DNA sequence: CAGGATCCCGCTAGATACTG
DNA sequence: CAGTATCTAGCGGGATCCTG
């Protein structure tokens, strides 16, 4: 049993990576997760969803490919598949294939993905909450008088 | 004096925007701020700097163009200028020109920018803290056996 | 249903050169 | 110092067709 808590271990690991450095792997990771579709996929899978009695088991919600496709309005098949693969590879979500006819595929956040989802949802909510102020700022910036 | 708190007003505004919708302005805003350079610029301007016991003056730190350029290793002049302009337009930071010779320009977060910076820094720290786990996940994903 | 494969366009990031 | 201007290669990303 380790003497460090998980939070302490993360703080330890943090010291070894610095996203300000171009060569650091965390810079690439930051670039990967700094993505519109990543944010929305995580937000979709992290939400409790509209189904009332389905999420009693405590784990994060699972969604099918077509569900995600509908939820993320305007996403192309290519970007959805590509982003899901990338997130699966990084261990942020799991992809489960059920051999029905036709085949059923569902996606679900891992613990790691869930931890990021909490942060990403804050960003999404910030964007939604501060939209008015940003729009006002743009107007005054673009105004002739400055 | 309003009867709603700032938090309540944000919750109210949030109901009017939905980043899941393609046409919603908040979708574009989410796309803008979901950017590597945005994250790093906010993190740089939001940090208290190298001074150990500092931060007594309360306001966020201001940095000059060349300081930012050095801090964000690998950023091109174009991207730095472009991203700074975008953030200034959205009211996330201020740009101050001091007419010295040569000219001095400094950037500083606004209150709005500071509120986002707190969230963005969490993302950056998450990337740094979970880099090892992500790298391990990638290895096992790329491994021949699955 | 859940993609894989392919084509191709547009934007964008990066490099370079120049300037107030 | 803090940019602007210009050019270009590269790839992000959409459209389309096809498949198990």
Please report the pLDDT score of residue B51 as a whole number. Answer: 46
Instruction: Nearest chain A residue to B16 by CA: give it.
Output: A128
Does A89 lie at the interface with B, CB-CB under 8 angstroms?
A: yes
Residue B104: which pLDDT band, with cuts at 50, 70 and 90? very high
Q: Do B133 and A91 touch (CB under 8 A)?
A: yes
B99 touches strand C (CB under 7 A): no
Q: What is the rounded CA–CA span in Å between residue A39 and residue A79?
A: 13
pLDDT at B55 over 90: no
Tokens of A112: 């790691």
Does B116 lie at the interface with A, CB-CB under 8 angstroms?
A: yes
With contact defined as beta carbons under 8 Å apart, do A122 and B119 qualify? yes
In sequence order, the 6+-apart residues with CB closer than 8 A to the CB of A28 are none
Select the residue of A11, A90, A132 nearest B137 (Cβ to Cβ).
A90
Residue B54: which pLDDT band, with cuts at 50, 70 and 90? very low
- Give kind and range of the element (H or E) at residue A105: strand A104-109
Transcribe B57-115 into DSSP letters: T-SPPEEEHHHHHHHSTT--HHHHHHHHHHHHHTTSEEEEEE--SS-EEEEEE-HHHHH
Q: What is the rounded CA–CA span in Å between residue B98 and residue B63?
A: 13
- The full set of domain ranges for chain B reads 36-142
B129-142 pLDDT tens trace? 999 999 999 999 99
| Å between CA of A46 and C1' of D18 | 33
Does B132 lie at the interface with A, CB-CB under 8 angstroms?
A: yes
Q: What is the rounded CA–CA span in Å between residue B146 and residue B140?
A: 6
Closest-CA residue to B72 (of A145, A21, A133): A21
A53-70 pLDDT tens trace? 444 455 789 999 999 999
Instruction: Find the residue closest to D3 using CA and C1' atoms.
Output: B81
Supply the mean pLDDT for chain A. Answer: 86
A1-47 pLDDT tens trace? 445 566 665 555 555 899 999 999 999 999 999 999 999 999 999 98
Q: Which CATH class is domain A36-142?
A: mainly alpha
Work out the number of other CB atoms within 10 angstroms of the CB of residue B89.
17
Q: How many helices (H) and strands (E) does chain A have?
A: 7, 3
pTM for the complete prediction?
0.87
Q: Tell me if the bond preceding A102 is cis, omega within 30° of 0.
A: yes
Q: Do B127 and A44 touch (CB under 8 A)?
A: no
């Amino acid at each position: 049993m380790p003497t460090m808590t998980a939070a302490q271990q993360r703080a330890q690991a943090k010291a070894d990576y610095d996203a300000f450095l171009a060569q650091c792997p965390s810079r690439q990771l930051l670039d990967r997760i700094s993505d519109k579709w990543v944010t929305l996929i995580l937000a979709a899978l992290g939400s409790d969803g509209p189904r009332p009695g389905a999420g009693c088991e405590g784990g994060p919600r699972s969604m099918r490919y077509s569900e995600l496709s509908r939820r993320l309005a305007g996403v192309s098949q290519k970007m959805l598949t590509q982003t899901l693969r990338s997130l699966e590879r990084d261990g942020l979500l799991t992809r489960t294939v059920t051999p029905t006819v036709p085949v059923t595929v569902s996606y679900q956040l891992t613990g790691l993905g869930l931890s990021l989802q909490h942060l990403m949802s804050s960003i999404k909510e910030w964007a939604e909450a501060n939209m008015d102020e940003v729009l006002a700022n743009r107007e005054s910036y673009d105004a002739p008088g400055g």
